[in-house]
Amino acid sequence: MVLAAGRGERLRPITDTLPKPLVRIGGRALLDHAIDRLEAAGVERVVVNTHYLADLIALHLEARKSPEIILSPEIEALDTGGGVRNALAVLGDEPFFVVNGDSLWRDGKVPALGRLAAAWDRERHDALLLLQRTATAVGYDGAAGDYALDQLGRARRRVPPEVTPFLFAGVQLLAPELFEGTPASKFSLNRLYDKAEAASRLGALVHDGEWYHVGTPDNLRAVEERLRRRGVER
């Protein structure tokens, strides 16, 4: 699943007329970058949720020949958790990838999605997150991070005022069972990460390529400049 329902408030005024997943980097929409990665990993069907300027996203996706795209429209924005829960009937009974529609990364020697799939253990995991080192995240203007990791690869959420070395990269594998008992309403996936952490079932991998944060117009320019210097178009 690709999460594409949000407005991208911090990227205004660009997102006043364009949904954030359709913002172009290197001549290609962020949404297409995400779907391209999923397709390269062997995913044959992708669910895309929509809300803000949903018609523009639907029109854009009509041009894709593959993979199969299923839209999951939201009359009211359901946030990340509610959006995924709303699409569970289409996502099925097996663990599935969820990628933020504005996530942009370059793989290391082994593609990040392949690394997640290889590390997934249904006996140990309800959620497996891709983390990025804050020190090397391009365009990231925060400092405190999101998570720390223990020696077993289990993620622990930052407790303020603590500073942690990793941020969540917006890429993950989730088990459908994690959504049992959740409401058919708006809620954040953070709620489920905390649930998995409390059960010692929240795993994580550290990304070994580059990861780019496109949160504000300044971040966007920084990312475009970094890719331009590297001669990267996609």
User: Lowest mean pLDDT: which of 26-35, 103-112, 126-135, 151-160?
Assistant: 151-160
> Does residue 232 register a pLDDT over 70?
no
CATH architecture of 2-230: Alpha-Beta Complex (3.90)
Per the DSSP assignment, residues forming a β-bridge with 156 are: 148
pLDDT recorded at residue 233: 47
Are 142 and 134 in contact by the 8 Å Cβ rule? The answer is yes
Instruction: Read off φ and ψ for residue 105, nearest 5 degrees.
Output: -150, 160
Spatial CB neighbours of 21, under 8 Å, sequence gap ≥ 6: 2, 4, 29, 30, 31, 34, 57, 101, 102
pLDDT recorded at residue 205: 95
Q: Closest Cα partner for 133 from 48, 210, 229?
A: 210
pLDDT tier for residue 43 given thresholds of 50, 70 and 90? very high
> Does residue 59 register a pLDDT over 70?
yes
Bridge-based pairing of strands 147-149 and 155-157 is antiparallel
> Does residue 214 register a pLDDT over 50?
yes
Tens-digit pLDDT profile for residues 141-150:
777 889 999 8
pLDDT recorded at residue 153: 80
> Does residue 202 register a pLDDT over 70?
yes
Three-state SS at 230: helix
Q: Is the dihedral of CA 182, 188, 189, 192 positive or negative?
A: negative
Express the helix, strand and coil content of the chain in percent, nearest 5 each: 35, 25, 40
CA 35 to CA 41: how far, in whole Å?
10
Are 141 and 214 in contact by the 8 Å Cβ rule? The answer is no
pLDDT recorded at residue 169: 95
Greatest alpha-carbon pair distance for the chain in Å reads 48
pTM: 0.92
What residue ranges do the domains of the chain occupy? 2-230
> Does residue 181 register a pLDDT over 60?
yes
- Say which residue, 164 or 152, is predicted with more confidence: 164
Instruction: Read off φ and ψ for residue 157, nearest 5 degrees.
Output: -65, 145
Three-state SS at 88: helix
User: Lowest mean pLDDT: which of 24-38, 73-87, 208-222?
Assistant: 208-222
